[in-house]
């Protein structure tokens, strides 16, 4: 088994967007102290022209300057000011703010799920819709391998929730996104001091986005499902006997690896994980992995010959990341 150094990895889901995916374009800006999510509605240049004769539907070739304000200082405009994204408009005369797609592309990396959805980029403009910010990093990353999901809402922007508390499931099913999900943030080894040390998964409900981060397409599919995972994901392994006799005290070793289970991690802090059993008595309800290694025991004294049960190892919010099925003789 090879030994690898754990590092954060930013990943982007490159599969087909869901049928109900939003048409909004997002911008994710990540710094040491925060992640900010901006969203934009897409306008085409021809939609901005002044209608001169509504009866026949013709329009002039000029953009109606009485309705639209074109942002020249994009960096200054995107400074987070709290609440609504400049309340959709910033000028007292009520003009709609627009940002040129190409100018935003000059500042940030652009990613599109299905190339060709946004065409004629020289004539595409983006209207600010809402923005949301998260700065409470220590609170949200105290525990290892915890996922937080940002979900878009109509009135308050993106809301943040602990995804593991909701699912209590293993890693694969929790990466199935619902309509409105934007991005999943994984805490990795826990107790992080920077948003830049986290894992990011853009949900398949997002068709296109900008970011100051460099995303990759290094996501993998489970061969039998539509769930996906990434190699950098923290995965627990449990090794120990699958058979025994009533009265035996069975010992199990726990190690931390990548998703494949073929590589163990090094440069690890002490990490708390949680064993559970269907039957028998645990020696520990919580164990500490020191440099990625730990162990616990299960007493089978009060069980019955012929019975089978599972011995599981999991995280604070996940009851089972791996397990061993035991049969007693």
> What's the pLDDT score for residue 76?
80
Model confidence pLDDT, tens digit, residues 189-248: 888 788 888 889 888 778 889 999 998 877 776 665 556 677 788 899 999 999 999 999
Model confidence pLDDT, tens digit, residues 39-82: 888 888 766 765 544 444 444 556 667 778 888 888 887 876 65
State in Å, rounded, how far the first CA of the chain is from the last one. Answer: 32
- Which domains, ranges and CATH numbers included, belong to the chain? 2-229 (no CATH), 235-328 (2.60.40.10)
| CA 183, chain centre distance (Å) | 4
Cβ-in-10-Å burial (0-12, 13-18, 19+) of 122 comes to exposed
Model confidence pLDDT, tens digit, residues 293-314: 999 999 999 999 999 999 999 9
> What's the pLDDT score for residue 115?
65
The percentage of residues in the chain with a pLDDT greater than 70, rounded to a whole number, is 74
Q: Measure the CA–CA gap between 48 and 280, rounded to whole angstroms.
A: 70
Q: Going by C-beta distance under 8 Å and a sequence separation of 6 or more, which residues neighbour residue 169?
A: 318
> What's the pLDDT score for residue 28?
94
> What's the pLDDT score for residue 219?
76
Q: What is the pTM of this model?
A: 0.83
> What's the pLDDT score for residue 130?
77
> What's the pLDDT score for residue 96?
80
Q: Residue 19 pLDDT > 60, yes or no?
A: no
Model confidence pLDDT, tens digit, residues 137-177: 666 677 888 888 888 765 555 666 666 654 454 444 446 56
Hey, how many other C-beta atoms are within 10 angstroms of the C-beta on 146? 21
Instruction: Give the pLDDT band (50/70/90) at residue 289.
Output: very high
């Amino acid at each position: 088994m090879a030994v690898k150094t754990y590092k954060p990895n930013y990943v982007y889901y490159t599969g087909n967007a869901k049928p109900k995916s939003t048409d909004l374009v997002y911008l994710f800006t990540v710094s040491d102290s925060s992640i900010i999510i901006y969203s934009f509605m897409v306008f085409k240049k021809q939609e901005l022209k002044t209608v001169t004769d509504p009866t026949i539907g013709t329009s002039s070739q000029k953009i109606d300057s009485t309705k639209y304000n074109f942002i020249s200082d994009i960096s200054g405009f995107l400074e987070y000011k709290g609440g609504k994204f400049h309340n959709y408009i910033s000028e007292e005369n009520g003009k709609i703010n627009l940002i040129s797609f190409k100018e935003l592309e000059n500042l940030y990396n652009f990613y599109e799920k299905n190339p060709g959805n946004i065409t004629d980029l020289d004539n595409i403009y983006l209207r600010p819709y809402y923005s949301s910010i998260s700065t409470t990093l220590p609170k949200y990353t105290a525990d290892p391998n915890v996922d937080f999901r940002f979900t878009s809402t109509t009135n308050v922007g993106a809301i943040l929730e602990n995804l593991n508390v909701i699912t209590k499931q293993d890693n694969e099913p929790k990466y199935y996104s619902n309509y409105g999900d934007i991005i999943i943030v994984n805490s990795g080894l826990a107790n992080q001091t920077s948003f830049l040390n986290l894992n990011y998964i853009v949900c398949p409900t997002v068709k296109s986005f900008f970011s100051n981060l460099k995303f990759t397409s290094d996501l993998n599919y489970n061969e039998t499902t539509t769930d996906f995972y990434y190699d950098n994901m923290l995965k627990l392994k449990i090794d120990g006997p699958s058979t025994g006799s009533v009265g035996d005290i069975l010992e199990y070793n726990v190690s931390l690896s990548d998703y494949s289970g073929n590589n163990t991690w090094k440069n690890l802090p002490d990490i708390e994980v949680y064993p559970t059993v269907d039957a028998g008595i645990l020696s520990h309800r919580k164990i500490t992995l020191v440099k990625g290694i730990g162990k616990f025991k299960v007493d089978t004294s009060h069980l019955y010959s012929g019975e089978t049960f599972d011995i599981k190892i999991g995280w604070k919010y996940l009851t089972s990341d791996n397990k061993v099925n035991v049969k007693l003789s």
